[in-house]
Every structure is written in C-alpha cells, then in structure tokens.
Structure 1
Amino acid sequence: MVGLGLALSGCTELAYYRQAAAGQWDLLQARRPVAEVLADPATAPNVRQRLETAQALRAFASAELALPDNDSYRSYVDVQRLYVVKNVFAAPELELEPRRWCFPIAGCLSYRGYFDAEAAQHLADALRADGDEVYVADIAAYSTLGWFADPLLNTFIHWPTGRLAELMFHELAHQRLYLADDTAFNEAFATAVGHLGAERWLVQRGSAREQEEYSADDRRRQAFLQIVTASRESLAAVYASDQSDAEKRVEKQRILAELRTRYRELKQEWGGYAGYDRWFEQDLNNAKLAGHSTYHRWVPAFIVLYEQGGRDFTTFYQAAEILGRLPPPEREARLRELLTVRSPSMLAHIPSIAGAGHARNTRCSFVQER
C-alpha cells in the first residue's frame, strides 16, 4: 500500500520512536515509590486505599500466582489524563485481518501505540485516507515486558478490585511469557491469567460485595462478547463469499445495525447499564472487531490448559511455554484442539463463547503498544 508506506517511512518513523522513548522516559521519571505516596499526608484517602489494595494484589501475584517478583507496580504515577497511551488498529474495508507493525524486541503486533495523541490521530487519518477502517483506543495500562519497573497509574487504580486484579495479573503475565510475532497468543494467555488470578484472589481475599460486583461484570462481559463474536463470524462469512463488493457492503451494514440492536436489548436486560455505550458509539468497524478477536480468541484454550495442569499456575506456565515453542502452524492447531475440550470442571471457568477477557481494550505488551 503506497499511502501506508509513505505514512510510516523516513522521518515519520524516526519521530514515532522518538515520541515512544520520550513518553516512556517521562513516565519513569514521574514514578514515586508506593510507600512514599502512602506516607505523604497530602495523599487523598481514596488514592491511599486503592494503593494499599494494589500492594496486596502485587504480593498475591508473586506468592499465589507464580508471577514475577520484581519492582513492577510498586511505584505510582498520576499521568493527569484518563489514558496512558492510544493504540491504533486498522483493517481493510472488507476483511477482518488486522494490519500489523513490526518492532524491535516485541516483534510484529496488530496495533501501533502512541504516547502522543496527535501523532496517533495523524496515523489514523493516513490509514483512513489509504482506504482502511481504523479504531483508536484509549489504553489504561501497558507492560514493558520487564525491561522497566512498570508503575501503577491513576488511569486504572480506581477500578473495582476484581478488574484491578485482572489488569495487574495480565500485565505481569506478559513478563512471565511473551512470544514475538504472536499477539493473539500473548493476549489470550495474559487475559486467561488475569481472569483466573482475579477469581482466586476474590475467593481467598475478596468481600462478598467485591465478588458479586466482579461476577455481575463478568456476566455482562460474556453477553457482550457473545453478540460481538456472532457478528464477527457473520461478517467473516460475508467477506469470504462470492458476492460482489457492493453486496458485501450492504450485508456489512445490516450486520452492524443488527449488532447495535442486540446491544440495546442487552442494556434493557442489564437494567440500563451503559458501560459499553462508548464502544458502540464510534468506530464500529472491522478494525475494532479485529482487535476484539486478537484479545479473546484463544482464552478458553488457555483455561483448558490451566485445568489440565491441576489448576497449578507454575504447571500451567510450563505447558504454555511448551506450546509457545511449537512452530506457528502447530501451535495454532494445538490451540484449536484445546478449544474442543470440555468437562464439568472446565466449564465452570470457560465462558459460553471463545472469549473471556476485557471487552474494553485496557492493556498492552510493550512501550509502543496498547
């Protein structure tokens, strides 16, 4: 694609890495040890309480989930905005396969992340001008894969405890296992760890209110994922058909309109809960649906792997590492095989569709990511 090549070449590419390095440097420089923030009389009571909870979660992650015991999430930064980076997803008008960008260390990813919101918008505009559909996501957290000590951020510290646990465990899971050039594997693995770890925390340490809050959120999330997955499958069938492009466009709009209708019906069932309104209000297109698939496709397969290992996290990680060493075609075949496994104990953890992670894009795997 000539337009895409022009947008990401030469000085523009250098500017991208410059903003990524500057954004990461600023974040690291702004870190304050959590102990220092807690000891500061000026710290707001609600921030103090959430930091104390986060530190308990951090200790639990290493002691109970066998996640890395390092300095990540032992410092705090208020970035003075509601997101830390913006991720740009893109896909062709009549395809669900996302565009990919390749980076040192992290490998090839299905999104491109920016600290600089203006630069993210510039890329989004260039991609749209080149004919792609685009989704620009506000991202609350990301992981540097252990290269730096990632801090707690104001962008997610006030989340309900179950979701906060999921996010922290997810990001630490990226430090535990990460494959270059396989975003779907990485995100599904980390999403599974986050979900399973949050469940274990809530059972052992959570209050009844926190458990019910997380359960209600998870039920809504599964219902949301179910309608989105069904629509994505319908679109995939249309795009793979022998219809003309004009006919495919008509069918596409019908499917997306039907998806919106299904969501309105879900909202009524939820008593008006509007947590997914923003997701539906803008960029409901192939780029957004491609990003959804990236995060959720293999989650049930990893949960099966966890169950097969006796619900022991260390055993689970070892099995995932073995899986990760397979050549990509064999790895995908093994994941597909795991998706077919069902038992009563496994069904207790596996959602009714192929996806159990956050419906909202909230995390990433390196400086230039989500």
Structure 2
Amino acid sequence: MLNGCANLSYYAQAVNGHMDVMRRAQPISGLINNPDIDPDLKRILSQAATMRKFASEELKLPANQSYTRYADLKRPYAVWNVVAAPEFSTRLKQWCFVKAGCVSYRGFFSQARAERYADQLRAAGYDVHVGGVPAYSTLGWFSDPVLNTFIHSELELARLIFHELAHQVVYVPGDTVFNESFATLVEQEGIRRWLFHKGKPEEYDAYQARRVMQTTFNTLVLDHRARLEKLFEADISDAEKRIAKAHVFNDLRAQFALLESGRPEFGRYQQWFVKPLNNARLATVSVYTQLLPAFRALLALQDGDMARFYTVVRAIGKLPSADRADALQMALRESRQNNLAGMIMQHPQ
C-alpha cells in the first residue's frame, strides 16, 4: 500500500509537470511573426521550423504537431533523472511504469524532488546519481514542444528533434538500450544529412571528431566499469571491496588527467568529474550507444532508405528480447560480410 501511494505521488508530479510544459507552449509560427520577440530567438525558432520540415520530408519521421511549438520553462533542464545501483554492482535499478514499461531511471520535473528521492535511495544503501535532462518524449501521446533547454546550438537543436521524434517511430517498452540506440542512430544519421543538406560538410567533419572523442572517453570509463564488475565478483570481504572500489575511481581520475595532459581538447569532460564517482554514474555511460553498430548495419542493409529501415526496426521490436538481440547481431554480421565482399571486388588478387 505504501508503495502504491508513493507511485501515485510520483505520477501526480509527472502529470502536473508535463501539463505545465504544455501550458507554456506557443506556436512557433506566431512567435516568428511577433515583432516583439527577441531576434536571436526568432532565428533559432526559424531554424527549428526548417529542421522539423526536414525531419518529416528527408528522414521520414512523423509529420505531426510535435516540435511546432515553443515553451520557455525558465529552468536549465526539462527533467532531472535519478539513477541508482547497488553498492557492489553496476546493474542499474529498474522502475516500471504504465505504457513506458521498465526503465533504469526515474524522472522528476523538480530538481528538489529528484534530490529528495535520491537521498532516500542513498539511505537504503544505493550508489545514486541525479542528472539534468534537456528533453523527453511522450511517444506521440502529446505534441511535444521545442524547449528553451535545448536551443543553445544548431546541432543540439537538431539532435534533440531527430532523437525524440525517433521515439515516436519505434519504442519497445522495457528495453532502454534498444530504444535509445535506435534513436541515437536516427539522430546521428539525421545530423549528417542535415549538415550536407545545408552545404556544411566541414561542420560534419568537426561533429565526427567530437564523436570520436566521446568514444575515447566512453572507452576509458567502460574499462574501469569492467574492473569494478570483476572486483564485485571477487571472493573478498565487503570492506576489501570498498577499498578496492575507491582505488578504481581514483585510477579513473588519474587516467583521465593523463589523457587530458596530452590532449587538451578533452578538458570539456572535466565537468563530468565534478560530482562524486560511483557505480550509478559509471553505469549510465554508453547506454545510448551499445547497439549503435547493429542499427547502423541495419540501415546500410536498407541502402540508407529511412522508411524501409523503420519498417524493419518495427518488426524486430515486436520480437521477444532474445530474438531481438539475435536479429541485430545477424544484421551486423551480414553488413560486415557485404563490406568484405565489396572490398574483395574492388581489390581482386
């Protein structure tokens, strides 16, 4: 009964928070034509309108009212997500919700509420992380607006619009890795096509360089996460595990400092180390990219045709979990075989 009351309270804040967002939303077309609106905001919203049209026409994403309105929330993030992991595990705690299924986070429209909930989890012995999120998707149930939280740059705006619209195309309840990897692939392919459409290939090169840098950082974190997982399986006392766990986090900081000293561009990741390191923080890294290679292979097998790609992904999404994983791995193998055959044809002995 207590758990039921807690869930009712959580759903209430979610409903109230979302309705507040919707009440603030105004048609972008009206704001663009309003002479009293800040010129910089007009420019960004005009760009958003063009991106929205591009998303439907070129990326074959839903042609609906989502991202045709704008809401200023007067805060830096749309929601704050709470993630948690046991003291001696990197497996994230799961929460189950109506429609969304089970996910590895709990979102709040108030940072104070998120922090209070995080404190409860810490008191229960969990490693906890609270992070601000610039956007969320209602999966097409509502017309999601453009928010002030993600209009800081052209690529951030494009990234969020393409990513969140992708969730309206395919969403498998309870499979965060599948959903987010798919949406991230659509986001990345969308940005590539957008920048070439705008005649900005040099900006795509810079974007690619940032992705390579992100992969390098992710690999550093994942290596240390693997060390933690091995440690937690060891037959030693909890006290010994705590000491060794602290050593892994200290080593991660040291390895990053060494990386940054040789490559100053990695200074952009210093902010990641401001908050204390724990299992939950390390567990969140690369959740959105684990299946990216498989989805990229699947798109290649459809010759880059987005509509065909979505049809295949929908079909895979309807399969049981194990079969979904097998289908994606099969696509990855087939794509690699095709690439190998192509290389052989180009360079015959």
Correspondence 1:106 to 2:87: no
- What is the alpha-carbon root mean square deviation over aligned residues? 2.2
| Matching residue within 176, 200, 203 for 1:207 | 200
Cα offsets for 1:83-112 (capped at 9, x unmatched): 010000011011111111111111111100
Same amino acid, percent of matched pairs: 41
**How many angstroms apart in 2 are the aligned matches of 1:208 and 1:181?**
37
Please tell me the residue identity of whatever aligns with 1:183.
Answer: T
Shift of 1:236: 2.1
Q: Which runs of 5+ in 2 are unaligned?
A: 341-349
Note closer, same or farther for the CA distance 1:264–1:41 as it changes in structure 2 (3 Å cut).
Answer: farther
Match of 1:216 in 2: 209
Instruction: Answer whether contact 1:304 1:346 (CA < 8 A) is retained.
Output: no
181-190 vs 322-331, which moves further: 322-331
Aligned partners of 1:301, 1:293: CA distance in 2, in Å?
A: 14
Given residue 247 of structure 1, which amino acid in structure 2 is its aligned partner? Answer: E
The secondary structure found in structure 1 opposite 2:264 is coil
Partner in structure 2 of residue 237 of structure 1: 230
Amino acid across the alignment from 2:96: C
* Alpha-carbon distance in structure 2 between the residues aligned to 1:36 and 1:68: 22
Provide the aligned length of Structure 1 versus Structure 2. 340
Instruction: Find the aligned partners of 2:284 and 2:242 in 1 and give their Cα distance.
Output: 20
Kindly indicate whether the alpha-carbon contact (under 8 Å) linking 2:218 and 2:286 is maintained by their aligned counterparts in 1: no
CA–CA distance in structure 2, aligned partners of residues 128 and 104 of structure 1: 26
Name the structure 2 match of 1:304: 297
Alpha-carbon distance between aligned partners in 1 of 2:219 and 2:298, rounded to the nearest angstrom? 22
Structure 1 residues 252 and 20 mapped into 2: Cα distance closer, same or farther (>3 Å)? same
* Aligned 8 A contact 2:298 2:335 in 1: no
The equivalent residue for 2:221 is 228
Alignment match, 1:187:
180
Residue of structure 1 in register with 2:344 after alignment: none
1:97 to 91, 94, 117: 91
Cα distance change, pair 206–43 in 1 and its aligned pair in 2 (3 A) = farther
Local SS of the residue matching 2:61: coil
Q: Of the two structures, which has the highest relative contact order with CA contacts closer than 8 Å and spacing of 6 or more? A: 1
Question: Does the aligned pair in 2 maintain the 1:187–1:294 contact within 8 Å?
Answer: yes
Give the TM-score of the pair, scaled to structure 2.
0.90
Please give the TM-score of this superposition, normalised by the length of structure 1.
0.85
Is 1:81 aligned with 2:67?
A: no
Residue aligning to 1:246: 239
Question: How far 1:309 sits from its partner (Å)?
Answer: 1.5
Number of the residue aligned with 2:264: 271
Specify which of 244, 255, 259 is matched with residue 262 of structure 1: 255
Q: 1:345 & 1:227 partners in 2: Cα distance?
A: 31
Give me the whole-angstrom Cα distance separating, in 2, the residues matched to 1:52 and 1:209.
Answer: 23
